[in-house]
A and B are shown apart, each in its own frame.
Chain A
Amino acid sequence: MNEEFIKKTGRYWLYLPCRSVELTKMNVVNPLNDKFMKKNRTCGLSDDIGLLKMIKLIRFTIFILLLSLSQTFAINPFLISSSKPEIIKEAVTQAQKAVSGKVTDSSGAPLTGVTVVIKGTTIGIITDSDGKYSLSNVPPGAILVFSFVGMKAQEVVVAGKTNLSVVLEEETVGVDEVVIVAYGTQKKVTVTGAVSSLVAKELKQSPSANFVGAMAGRLPGLITVQNSGQPGAEGINIYLRGVSTTNGQNPLILIDGVPRDNITTIDPNEVASVSILKDASSTAVFGVRGANGVILITTKRGTTETPQINVTAEYGLQDFTRRNFQGVDSWDFARLRNEALANNGLPPEFSPESIEKYKSGVDRFMYPNTNWFKLLVRPSPLTRYNVNVSGGTDRVKYFMNAGFTHQGGMFNTEPKSKLGYDPQFKMDRYNFRTNLDININSWIKSSVNLAGYIEKTNAPNSQDNSGNPDWIVTGIFRSPPTMPGPLTIDGYGVPAGEVISSPINDVPSYGQLNRTGFRNTESSNLQSSVAFDFDLSSITKGLTSKAMVSFDSRSNSITKAYHNYIRYRYSLIQVADPVTGEMKDQLTFTPNTTPQFYPLQLSKTTSFTYAINMQWAINYARTFNNKHQVTGMILAQRDNNEAVSGSSDLLLPYNVLGVAARATYGYDNRYLLEFNAGYNGSEQFQRDRRFGFFPAASLGWVISNEQFMKAQKIVTNLKLRASYGKVGNDELGDARFLYLDNLSVSSGGGFSPSLGIGKYINENLIGNPMITWETAYKQNYGLEMTLFKDLTFTGDLFFEDRKDILITRATVPALQGLPLGTVPKANMGEVTNKGFELELVYKKRVNKDLSFFVSGNYNFNQNTVKNIDEPPYDDTYAYQYQRTGYSLSQQWGKKIDWESLGKGYYTSKEEINNSGLTFTGVQPRPGDFVYKDLNGDKIIDVKDNAPIEYGIVPRVTYGVNLSVSYKGFDFSALIQGVAQTSRYYSSYGINEPFFDGNFSEYHRTAWTIERYEAGEKITYPALSTVASYSTTQNDFFIMDRSYTRLKNAEIGYTLPQHLSKRIGIRKMRVYTNGQNIFLWDKLLTKNYDPEQSNALSIPILRVFNLGVNIVF
């Protein structure tokens, strides 16, 4: 075969070295190719040249793959051919006619904006305001495709007609919907596992700079906790159905079928759908990695046959959800400080004259009233631009996306002109993606995905060259309103323009922000995958196979420029006037010479990591006698990847190997049976204990398809399903190879240089060869019901028993001499988890102008520790177990006696003395909490601790989603919330200032004898200057973190078709939306967003956005 031959025939050949290959034209004529040729193909010759290259590549790959095999086995040649150019000519030469008609909905109302396309071409048109269309040059045998959002697409054969009017039916919820499941798709009606999903449109309503923020509240069973608002470092935790282990608790995330972790950086515009797999049936195929559930993200692919160019531009302003740290004014600060001193029997710090001066504002430098939050924080822009193009022909379909996100910093920084560099927090991210689908021939389809991002973040270097922004937020909390600044001014004997620090806090926010240099992080990530789908129906009908290789790489570079600065400590003291002898306030500054100033020092670290994933699957799907639906899948997978950072063992590449299988049987769309299994190995375990088998079975009964249901029109869909199975979790924390001993020789630092050449032996770990994965036994029961085609209810009830959790032995005494971290862990833990998810969706198209959609979900999970190897407390404790029998992360503390004489507070010294109680350590004062003596030993101590409220992971999550569209207007809103979660709060912004910091709003009405006697409301125990009897873990400071948010809302307006057409575009929509708009919570102090677990990190953001979306 030569090039000549190829050009001549228009066919490309794949051939293999085999016995007796005779490449004549005759070879082409085999059943496969015949059928292929019958298909109408449109493909220009130039396409073929590109294809030629690609086919060469594929051919080479397959050639190599099969070469060795062919030597051993007798393999006949097979041929691959592209389309035949002659056919195109044939089609064009046929007689063409004009076709026109009207499109209406079932009520007879004309539908505007329906796309009418000649199938297999890019020729198409959109119906006008009367629902009319007209197409010229339609071949008589052509097929017209009518599609419209919310309606079932229809294909109509022209068959020589010139007038075609069509009635489009509304899409019924849940019937034809397809759901992405593990390694494939299933019709929603046949799914028997617990799977929830959402589609692109909903995600795009949330103007969150990261993708996870857009998912919150929309998927029943998904819990997201965002810890910080720092651009590019939001610290998000994701849980599916809560937690049920002490080890790795996060779900497995796959993007386009490959385990990938860039879930926060993915561009929402690229995402077609998100599925979460919750029960054993849907996750068993992931075997040893599936126990915490799986999130599947699928990106968009070219679907429409008319090319579509989609341009979106958004400009937003971002701000913190908590607009102020709620500090008090300087005069109130002074008054409250004196009150705290008085409570502890100490003389006042501020004289009435000074307080008056703070109030009058006579000298705002000496007697300031600085709101450090307002001084340092400002709203900042969030801009996003996105262009994507999708379209395709029968041969090639494409989706291309380019996105840019800029997130500005929220702090007032000094200008670059002054510093020479920019310390601002900010992030720029460029996302791109190209997804191609190529039909190579009748039985091979190839998909190529190429995606990536480049992200640049900038931040001040902050304290100790650490890049930790907590210092800045902490500094705001720690600066009292009486502190002058932020910079020195003339007239105090020190240079002007230098950073002022407080006598206690040496790391003032202003300096940390502006004078510590910068830290620039650039990360780039490339994700590529190539997949081939083989249609093997020639072997047997319904058989397909798929091979995929993906290669991801990530590089990261951090440029640090660090310098330090001299701070000037202020002190305001009273001195005697030399002339009059009168006491006066004096403000002085002392240079704090450590740390020394030094100029910028540059350093840089870079890293590169990769991940390779290989998959090969065989799928089978066939329906026999129109009644028996059978599908099967077997998939082999191999992973090889590197960790980003770490030391020692963590530097070694990670490997995963496994086989997954699925078999389903459906009878008449009524009875569904599914079997899933994963058999895979983890390198975490000893050689002969490495592979595990994880089976799951599920059943479904579609009652609505039964004969006796056909008659009624109320229940349009009713399905029951149940699943049971086991799944594994090999996430053992950061540690690897726990089955092996790990001793190493230190690199020095031994006690004596005369022994062991100055080295010593590190006993890092004694291996436990019996170590294995933890196993989750999961049950799931589900009910799906649709009434009147509009109202859908889905309910799931689940029970999970997580066994063999690898835990650190808690009953091995330290006395045996191995540090407890070195004692081998054991598979002893057991945690159960149970709960339910309820989802209600009501979707109604009232008429052609008005349609609306309401959905709500309410989810509950509760885990209980069954065994964590906890040694009991003796019977002098109020509670003998403090973990076993309680939720993971259950909070413990003292119970306040809210029924006491002073309703929770001691009212006098006498009451304390007469209580008959003994107190260990810090003694109570009047105004401190009255704790209950729960064990009855008349001593208030640790033995009285009791479980208080809940754990850290919310038990309840819920979301309500509403969208309405009326003519060109659309409105949507999402309310999201969590409940039954609590946490112990302490430190700045919670407690009164002990050594530094500011008072919060609720300290204003702290307990005083006057306030108590007057019967006024008391919101805080008696203020103190040091940690008091009250400031411990108790049911005041263990606060309820429940919240409800207006997570986002959006109003949009789409230009009428006739107007947008006039300016030459297909569609134009302008909108405004917001993220984290309102927050209702129960925290006693309003200084933090309840979602943040680290109170001193950068708060969570609120965003208001304006945007325009144009489709060409």
Chain B
Amino acid sequence: MKNKLLIILLAFCGVTSCQNVLDIAPSGRMSLDEIFTDDATTSAYLNSCYLNFPKWANFNSTSTNMRIALTDDAWDWYGNPAVPSNKMYIGSATSTNPILENEDNRNDNTDDVMGFWNKCWQNIRRCNVFLSRVATAKVTLESDRNRWTAEAKALRAFYNFELIIRYGGMPIVTSPLGLDYDYKQLKRESFKACVDNIIKDCNEALATPEFPWRISAGNEAYRFTKAIAAAIKSSAILFAASDLWNGGQNHWAEAETNTKKSLDDCLANGYELYNKVNNPSIFQSAYQEYFCSVTDWSATPVDKETILASTYANNDWIQFHGLPIQVAYKSGLCPSQELVDAYGMQASGQPILKLDKPYLDEAHLQPNYNPGSGYNPVNPYVGRDPRFYATIYYNGARRKNSAGVLTDIQTYYGGNCGINVNVRARTITGYYSKKYDHPSATISARIAATYRIMRLAELYLNYAEAANENGNLAGAIAAVNVVRTRAGMPNINPASKDEARLLIHNERRVELAYEENRYFDLRRWTKPDADLSATDRYLTGMWIIKTGNALDYKRFSIGDSWNTATGSWSNTATPRACYTNKYLIWPIQLVESRRLEAASGKKWQNPGW
């Protein structure tokens, strides 16, 4: 009897014993420590420091290159308030609806939701994890270890730079924050302090012999180089010295030194401007050919100008920033009259408007012509800067149509590409964008072009600006003229720092048009308490009316349309709402600023948001 009981009790215990059943079976998980015990996984970790690397040129059927659309260079039109650019124009952006952050994450279109902030901080952390462990990781070759270390530092500098130019000074985080990190210590540093840290990383990377100046093998394509570190350094100090970020300090001397060093180092290591037209039957200028080409990776590349290229060689330009004669989906970014006005005359080398006050009225409808330029307002597209012809399709420009026949582009009202503010595929400014449009491409046989993120010409212009501000007028003029010479423009010869500043700023606009630089340039040139109303608020286009063979050029506010019957404007134009000074700096997403404020006990949000 007792035994019966015993048996049952024992069987009972049998069911309950065996704790091990609750242990996990092997599933391929690794811990962080295990990663750094092997060459391949260590370098795989460095590979993940490039995860979600910005691809730039993010546009599709609804979104567009926001940092072109949100400048005075272009107006994106779809007529739909749900489209991100239009949301910005009507002022819908809030810290809970950070349209820019979502749009400008510059990733492939599939990963829209993550936001730029998260992406940068994640990669900064990965760099920090890597740098905190690479010294003791099991790596076979010391040269690999050194190169990887330099590479991670350059990457960290890059992410920090991209972060602060959007959100302003940030905490300097150089080691991974543990789960028990006390956020009370965390605080925003000054912009300059952040830039100093960026430059420090760049300098350390530049001092590493194993870190190459240029990638010369296809399988290493897009990996970071010393030239990238030099370019980051150049830009970072330029930003730190600019009005928005200098905090009332003068950093121009440091800026001149650093931008010069970066430029000289790149020149000394084989970087040069793209000077030669390789395919003259298709391209009129080296400048035009350059932007329709794809970066090559070899020891002796054709393109020696590009420092950092987008990994995204895009062939969609023709569809989403295209022409009606190509049956494009939409006209996309339509160049503004203001951008067109920025191109000087080739013969005189003179700007067509007075740069200190280009327009006499707020709405930009009355241009303040520069008398000596040689510009003819009734024949406006003749004799302009060659870069104009490489960047913009205007009335009378020619291009192959969808059938491959060379056709005149008619942007006048009623023309084959005629202006129409209500039709998605038609221009709303009187112009179409051209820069990345390969002349041989058609909508059915597209040709990809590489989007350049950093290139040598920018380093010249960085230096020119810094030198001028620091009082080195001669150095500045020389640098600008190198860039102008490549473009086929005569030299400039300003007499004063102020005159030179206007010319240098205009040169940047023209040379780097449609390269997404102007968005940040306009902002960094603006004092924190000022706003962008002079540039971003009112934009104009060119409404051409054709009567017989006569063309009547009418400047108009974008959004208006001319009623031929009544001879009047519709007055449907709405100025942009996104010009106020809160738009100088991005908002931190509300959810994040709440977290930061709760964790650190300090205010984090940027002014106005």
Q: Check: B132 CB closer than 8 A to any chain A CB.
A: no
Q: Whole-angstrom distance from the CB of A137 to the nearest CB of chain B?
A: 41
Interchain CB contact under 8 A, A648 and B27: yes
Whether the Cβ atoms of A69 and B32 lie closer than 8 Å is: no
Closest B residue by C-beta to A687: B23
In the complex, chain A residues whose CB is within 8 Å of the CB of B97:
921, 942
Given A817-B176, A920-B94, A751 and B51 touching (CB < 8 A)? yes
A873 to chain B, nearest CB (A): 6
Q: B383 to chain A: closest CB distance in Å?
A: 42
Q: Is the CB of B40 within 8 A of A756?
A: yes
Task: Give A740 to B29 CA distance when docked, in angstroms.
Answer: 9
Q: Check B3 against A813 for contact (C-beta < 8 Å).
A: no
Flag if A871 contacts B8 (CB, 8 Å): no
With contact pairs A75-B3, A683-B23, A814-B118 given, residues A750 and B8 touching in the complex (Cβ less than 8 Å): no
Say if the beta carbon of A742 comes within 8 Å of chain B. yes
Cβ-based interface call for B81 (8 A): yes
Residues in A whose Cβ lies below 8 Å from that of B171 = 815
A743 contacts B30, C-beta separation under 8 Å: yes
Provide the bound-state CA to CA distance between A545 and B1, in Å. Answer: 14
Q: Which residue of A lies closest to B124 (CB)?
A: A817
Fill in one digit per residue for B203-221: 1 if any A CB lies within 8 Å of its CB, else 0. 0000000000000010111
Kindly state whether residue A885 has any CB partner on chain B within 8 Å. Answer: no
Contacts of A74 in B (CB 8 A): 3
**Residues on the A chain within 8 Å of B590, using CB:** 873, 942
Q: Interface digits, B76-117 against A, CB 8 Å rule (1 contact, 0 not)?
A: 000011100001001110101100000000000000000001
Beta-carbon contacts under 8 Å, A528-571 to B: 534, 536, 538-539, 545, 547
Residues on the B chain within 8 Å of A815, using CB: 117, 121, 170-171, 173, 186, 592, 596
Find out whether the CB atom of B222 lies under 8 angstroms from the CB atom of A539.
no
Taking the closest CB of chain A, its distance from the CB of B561, in whole angstroms, is 13
Contact of A921 among B2, B6, B87 (CB under 8 A): B87
Is B423 on the interface with A (CB-CB < 8 A)? Answer: no
How long is the Cα–Cα vector from A756 to B32 in the complex, in angstroms? 15
What are 6 A-B interface contacts by the 8 Å CB criterion? Answer: A752-B223, A755-B46, A817-B123, A818-B122, A873-B594, A921-B90
- Quick one: which of A961-1018 are within 8 Å of B by CB? none
Q: Which 7 A-B pairs have the closest CB atoms?
A: A817-B125, A756-B44, A921-B92, A751-B50, A871-B598, A760-B48, A755-B47
- Residues of A57-89 at the interface with B, using a CB-CB cut-off of 8 Å, are 65-66, 69, 73-76, 78
Stretch at the interface among B12-20, B401-409, B483-491, B524-532: B12-20
**Chain B residues near A653 (CB, 8 Å)?**
25
Q: Which residues of A contact B124 (CB under 8 A)?
A: 817
- Least Cβ–Cβ distance between A684 and chain B, in angstroms: 9
A743/B15 contact (C-beta < 8 A), A74-B3, A538-B1 known? no
- Judge whether B347 is part of the interface by a CB distance below 8 angstroms: no
Residues of A with Cβ closer than 8 Å to B? 65-66, 69, 73-76, 78, 534, 536, 538-539, 545, 547, 614-616, 618, 634, 636-638, 640, 648-649, 651-653, 655, 657-659, 681-683, 687, 690, 737, 740-746, 750-763, 766, 768, 810-819, 823-824, 871-874, 920-923, 941-942, 1026-1027
Asked if B21 is at the interface of the complex by the 8 Å CB criterion, the answer is: yes
Given A547-B11, A756-B47, A922-B92, verify A741-B594 contact (CB < 8 Å): no
Contacts of B276 in A (CB 8 A): none
Asked whether A615 lies within 8 Å of B221 as measured between CB atoms, the reply is no
In Å, the complex CA distance between A1027 and B81 comes to 8
- B445 located at the interface, meaning its Cβ lies under 8 Å from any Cβ of chain A in the complex: no
Number of residue pairs spanning A and B whose beta carbons lie under 8 angstroms apart: 238
CB distance A745 to B15 under 8 Å?
Answer: no
Contact A741 to B121, CB < 8 A, known contacts A636-B16, A814-B595: no
**Is B53 located at the chain interface by the 8 A CB criterion?**
yes
Q: A817-B121, A818-B122 are in contact. Are A755 and B12 (CB under 8 A)?
A: no
> CB < 8 Å: which of A638, A817, A871 contacts B128?
A817
B43 beta carbon closer than 8 Å to chain A: yes
Q: Which of B1, B22, B186, B222 has a CB less than 8 Å from the CB of A752? A: B222
CA–CA, A336 and B31, complex, Å: 62
Say whether A756 contacts B43, CB under 8 Å: yes
Cβ contacts under 8 Å, A756 to chain B: 40-47
**Which interface class (under 10, 10 to 19, 20 to 34, 35 or more) fits B?**
35 or more
Report which of A752, A762, A872 forms a contact with B221, defined as CB distance below 8 A.
A752
Q: Confirm or deny: B179 has a beta carbon within 8 angstroms of a beta carbon on chain A.
A: yes
Given known contacts A741-B32, A922-B81, is B92 in contact with A614 (CB within 8 Å)?
Answer: no
Are the CB atoms of A536 and B24 closer together than 8 Å? no
Q: B598–A872 contact, CB under 8 A?
A: yes
| A residues in contact with B426, CB < 8 Å | none
Known: A78-B4, A755-B47. 13 other contacts (CB 8 A): A536-B8, A652-B25, A652-B27, A659-B16, A743-B35, A751-B222, A756-B44, A812-B595, A814-B118, A814-B592, A817-B176, A874-B597, A921-B81
Q: B248 at the A/B interface (Cβ < 8 Å)?
A: no
Does residue B135 face the partner (Cβ distance < 8 Å to A)? Answer: no
A contact residues around B91 at 8 Å (CB): 920-921
Q: List the A side residues contacting B1 at CB < 8 Å.
A: 538-539
* Cβ B594 vs Cβ A871 within 8 A: yes
Does B10 lie at the interface of the complex (its beta carbon under 8 Å from any beta carbon of A)? yes
Check if A817 sits within 8 Å of B177, measured CB to CB. yes
Nearest to A72 among chain B residues (CB) is B10
Q: Which A residues lie within 8 Å of B14 (CB)? A: 616
**A757 B223 Cβ-Cβ under 8 A:** no
Is there an interface contact between B92 and A637, defined as CB atoms closer than 8 Å? no
Shortest Cβ distance from A820 into B: residue: B118
User: Distance in Å from the Cβ of B144 to the closest Cβ of chain A?
Assistant: 10
B28 interface residue per 8 A CB criterion: yes
Q: Which residue of B lies closest to A736 (CB)?
A: B24
Inter-chain contacts of A744 with B (CB < 8 A): 28-30
B90: contacting residue among A545, A681, A746, A922, CB under 8 A: A922
Interface residue? B501 (CB, 8 A): no
Cβ of B2 to closest chain A Cβ, rounded Å? 8
CA–CA, A681 and B7, complex, Å: 24
**What CA separation (Å) do A618 and B9 show in the bound complex?**
8
Interface centre among B24, B30, B32, B595 (most CB of A within 10 A): B595
A contact residues around B23 at 8 Å (CB): 683, 687
Q: Which residue of A lies closest to B24 (CB)?
A: A737
Q: A69 and B7: CB pair below 8 A?
A: yes
Known: A66-B7, A78-B4, A752-B221. A811 touches B48 (CB 8 A): no
**Would you give the shortest CB distance from A813 to chain B, in whole angstroms?**
4
Let me know if B8 and A69 touch, CB within 8 A.
no
Contact between A618 and B45, CB atoms less than 8 A apart: no
Alpha-carbon gap, A816 to B10, bound state (A): 53
